[in-house]
């Protein structure tokens, strides 16, 4: 089982991969419809929005949590050095 390098989601099924491509290191939620990976800013906004909607934090806190989580993920390591 792979873990998404962009959001940390476990990828267990073919449907977890963009366009079913198990060669990708990122999940369907971190990909554009063409299978390419979202940019840092796109992922940060999407992650903050998800946290805001599902966990009840205000927008500022959700952005801070998203950024804190992203610091731990391989895809975004260079953005925090």
Q: How many CB atoms are located within 10 Å of the residue 8 CB? A: 16
38: containing domain? 2-80
DSSP string, 36-79: PBPPHHHHHHHHHHHHHHHH---HHHHHHHHHHHHTTSGGGGGG
Phi, psi dihedrals of residue 69, rounded to the nearest 5°: -65, -40
Structure token digits, residue 43: 């992922």
At 81 the pLDDT is 80
> Number of folded domains in the chain?
1
pTM score, whole prediction: 0.89
Q: By percentage, how much of the chain surpasses pLDDT 90?
A: 96
Q: How confident is the model at residue 10 (pLDDT cuts 50, 70, 90)?
A: very high
């Amino acid at each position: 089982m792979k873990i998404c390098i962009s959001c940390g989601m476990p990828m267990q099924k073919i449907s977890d991969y963009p366009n079913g491509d198990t060669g990708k290191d990122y999940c369907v939620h971190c990909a554009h419809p063409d299978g390419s990976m979202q940019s840092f800013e796109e992922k940060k906004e999407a992650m903050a929005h998800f946290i805001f909607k599902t966990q009840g934090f205000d927008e500022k806190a959700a952005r801070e949590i998203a950024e804190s989580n992203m610091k731990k993920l391989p895809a975004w390591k260079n953005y925090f050095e």
